[in-house]
Amino acid sequence: MFSNAEIGIDLGTANTLVYSKHKGIAINEPSVVSVDTVTKKVIAVGTEAKEMVGKTPENIITIRPLKEGVIADYDITTEMLRHIIGKASKALGFSLRKPNVVVCTPSGSTSVDRRAIQDAIRNAGAKKVYIIEEPVAAAIGAGMPVDEPVANVVIDFGGGSTEVAIISFGGVVACHTVKIGGDRLDDDIIQYVRKKYNVLIGERTAENIKMEIGYALVDHEELKMEVRGRDLVNGLPKTITLSSFEIRDSIKESLLQILEAIRATMEESPAELSGDIVDRGIILTGGGSLLKGMEDWLAKEIAVPIALAENPLECVAIGAGKSLQYLNKLLYAAN
């Protein structure tokens, strides 16, 4: 049914990844596009566009066309996908053929959201488009036996949202999505620094702070980091020193909302599967799961074994690519 021209795409709020079963992850680029507002032309896509964030003249804007896992700007998303699929096709050696594509969507997405993603990918150069729910793809990519009648619990902590799902026998038994991900944590840090120090920092600086000294655990060895921003009082550059304890406090509320989603999903679990969850534990995937102390904090809060997937950043894309073997059970074909 399928030729070698088949790829899995993780169309994420923060990054877009392309997986091929022959070459693994072929593309991993930020979901960012730079556009000239005068000519309406796309200037850069991916890594090159991300380098421009906060550094462009007035006529050039950098856009993240996906918000909370769904398309916010259809035309820009199509252009971005055209660039990424073209690049992947060239790298994988089937540039003369249209590939079959399996793409992930959040489990809570509407039929309108799914149709928009299908249309965008088809218009970007795909032959046939299949949809798979993101938590299911993450579980497959993490090596979980999703087609067996056992509880597979996955927490996919992405850039725009976090999804908690219990998967058994090829389907989602219970799932909760919160629109809180890595981007929200970055924003929490920006607001904290602005409020306490009267200093404005950019998105990339906030992301670096989160990665360097961000902690989920309250009790940890203190880390410090020097940060440069703009003083909101006199407008001049200013350097401040931040502590990991401060960053933990700034992101606390967002982490607690994610914890509530996990507890809500557990409460909806059938009794027969609850025992499996205690025995088998929970797998963490997505970039947000790399936050320092995340595994220990969750294990302490919900008293269930927590493990980080082998390739948390790539799980969804890998699962999308490998999901063709579960074609009848898991994928929705676009007519």
Annotated binding residue at 250?
A: no
Q: Is the pLDDT confidence value at 132 over 70?
A: yes
Q: How confident is the model at residue 333 (pLDDT cuts 50, 70, 90)?
A: very low
| Residue 107 marked ligand-binding | no
Q: Backbone phi, then psi, for 148, in 5-degree steps?
A: -100, 155
Do 200 and 113 lie in one domain? The reply is no
Residues 174 and 187 in one domain: no
Question: According to the annotation, is 27 in a ligand binding site?
Answer: no
Mean pLDDT (whole number) for 123-131: 89
Convert the pLDDT of each residue in 154-182 to its tens digit.
999 999 899 999 998 878 899 999 999 99
Q: Report pLDDT digits (tens) over 298-328.
A: 999 999 999 999 999 999 999 998 887 666 5
The one-letter amino acid code at 31 reads S
Q: In the prediction, which pLDDT does 334 show?
A: 43
Q: Quick check: helix, strand or coil at residue 149? A: coil
The answer to whether residue 1 sits within a structural domain is no
The reply to whether 40 and 92 lie within a common domain is yes
**Distance in angstroms (rounded) separating the CA atoms of residues 215 and 9:** 30
Q: Find the range with the poorest average confidence among 109-113, 137-141, 154-158.
A: 109-113
Average pLDDT of 104-122? 89
Residues 163 and 267 in one domain: yes
Q: Identify the domain containing residue 270 by its residue range.
A: 146-180+255-312
pLDDT confidence tier of residue 76, bands split at 50, 70 and 90: very high
In a domain, 230, yes or no: yes
CATH number of domain containing 242: 3.90.640.10
CATH of the domain at 289: 3.30.420.40
Q: Does pLDDT of 116 surpass 50?
A: yes
The residue-averaged pLDDT of 70-89 equals 90
Same domain, 219 and 164: no
Whether 242 shows a pLDDT value over 90: the answer reads: yes
What is the number of domains present in the chain?
3
Based on the fold, state whether residues 83 and 222 are members of the same structural domain: no
* pLDDT higher than 80, residue 4: no
Tell me which residue of 2, 45, 6 sits closest to 22, measured CA to CA.
6
Q: Looking at residue 183, what is its pLDDT?
A: 93
328 is in an annotated binding site: no
CA distances from 124 to 16, 28, 45, 68 (A): 14, 17, 14, 21
Q: Is 287 annotated as a binding residue?
A: yes
Q: Are residues 207 and 219 in the same domain?
A: yes
Residues 20 and 156 both lie in one domain = no
- Partners of 17 in the β-ladder: 10, 28
Spatial CA neighbour of 10 closest among 158, 177, 180: 158
Most confident of 70-84, 119-133, 192-206: 192-206
Mean pLDDT of 138-159: 92
- Tell me if 209 is assigned to a ligand binding site: yes
Q: Domain for residue 207, yes or no? A: yes
Establish whether 170 is an annotated binding residue: no
Task: Check residues 328 and 97 and name the one with the higher pLDDT.
Answer: 97
Decide which of 232, 250, 268 is a domain's last residue.
250
Residues 46/65, Cβ–Cβ less than 8 Å:
no
> Which tokens is 236 given?
């001049």
- Summary mean pLDDT of the chain: 90
Q: In what side-by-side order are the strands of the sheet with 60-63? A: 42-45, 33-36, 60-63
214 annotated to a ligand binding site: no
Write the pLDDT tens digit of every residue in 212-229. Answer: 999 999 999 999 999 999
Q: Are residues 328 and 232 in the same domain?
A: no
Residues 173 and 307 occupy one common structural domain: yes
241 is annotated as contributing to ligand binding: no
Q: Is the dihedral of CA 44, 46, 47, 50 positive or negative?
A: positive
- Quickly state the pLDDT bin for 191 (edges 50, 70, 90): very high
Helix (H, G, I), strand (E, B) or coil at 41: coil
The pLDDT of residue 331: 55
41 annotated to bind ligand? no
User: SS3 for 302?
Assistant: helix
pLDDT reported for residue 329: 58
**pLDDT surpasses 70 at 85:** yes
Token pair 């790298």 is at which residue? 91
pLDDT grade for 1, boundaries at 50, 70 and 90: very low
Considering the domain architecture, whether residues 133 and 73 belong to the same structural domain is answered as yes
**198 lies in a domain?**
yes
Are 298 and 326 in the same domain? Answer: no
Q: Is residue 218 part of a domain?
A: yes
15 annotated to bind ligand: yes
Look up residue 185 and give its amino acid.
Answer: L
Among 132-136, 197-201, 247-251, name the one with the lowest average pLDDT. 132-136
208 is known to lie in a ligand binding site: yes
